[in-house]
Amino acid sequence: MASEIKNVLLIGASGNLGPSILREFLNSPFNVSVLSRQESTSTFPSGVNVIKADYSNVSSLTTALKGQDAVISIVGGVAVGDQQKFIDAAIAAGVKRFLPSEFGSNTPDPRVSAIVPIFAAKTGAVEYLKSKESEITWSSLVTGVFFDWGIRVGFLGFDLSSKTVTLIDNGTTPFSGTNLSQIGKALIAILSHPTETSNKYIYISSFNASQREILAVVEKLSGQKWVVKNVNSKELIADATKRFQAGDFSAIPDLIKGATFGEHGLGDSRPAGLWNEKLGLKQEDLEQTVKDVLEGRLAGSK
């Protein structure tokens, strides 16, 4: 393990992604702690060091971040656009590396951000970090869709209960996706290679596949033909844009789906250059991942 980074603090570890990342770090050489709001009632595995702080107070956050070498932000929702206070506190506390809440889509691509305006919050955090590179280093991890989670909850278009799949632009466009456990492993690898990953966007994926390719695996494993629905990405994005502009934030997932699965291929991270090999991440098995999800669990969580 790199000597520069030993103590790691997770912010926002109680969401969809946080528990998987925490689980990986608990099995790593790093000393991991979790930052929690003073008023939070979130629970974590026994033995996890939980540090409480007033999120609205930079001084309180600075005190909480003292002694940490790296901070990983996994905050979601409106908190993504409010990460400057965490960055300021990290700098004041002497933290060496800050990883903002990125994950998901390729936000640096202006074509993606044009479709999903809320991604300006993520690019804004990185731009702020770039302005502070003389005081702190950063890494921003782009994973594509959360693959196993996305199949389980229907984000990839698969309704497990009704055996129905909604394909966008006939489901033939490849996209990148990463299993939750692999995201945790990638973060560990980034902090284990601090020099190579300093001040960079890092792209990874468990799989690069199309909805059609995943459907073939799902039908093979389930032994059933699924009902197929088709949606046009332009129509999906146009409708979701109108809803979003009218203040309907439930339109955001549809905007992301249109950008990710649509015919323009904006969900494929390969052109940006994948870091899997450089980070030493093991290749994962698509069929095994789908099998795990169909049996009611996330990949690798037997």
Instruction: Tell me the domain boundaries of the chain.
Output: 7-145+177-205+268-282, 148-173+209-261
pLDDT at 94: 97
C-alpha 174 chain-centroid distance: 18
Please answer whether residues 124 and 134 qualify as being in contact, where contact means their C-beta atoms are separated by less than 8 angstroms. Answer: no
Residues of the chain with pLDDT under 50: 1-3
Residue type at 132?
K
The region that residue 152 occupies, defined by phi over 0 for left and psi between -120 and 50 for alpha, beta otherwise, is alpha
Per residue in 127-178, pLDDT tens? Answer: 999 999 999 999 999 999 999 999 999 999 999 999 999 999 999 999 999 9
Centroid of chain to Cα 276: 15
**pLDDT at residue number 301:** 67
Spatial distance between the Cα atoms of 36 and 51, rounded to a whole number of angstroms: 6
pLDDT of residue 2: 39
Sheet containing 227-231: give its strands across: 158-159, 164-168, 227-231
7-145+177-205+268-282 topology per CATH = Rossmann fold (3.40.50)
What are φ and ψ of residue 157, in 5° steps? 100, 0
Percentage of residues of the chain with pLDDT beyond 70:
98
pLDDT at 1: 36
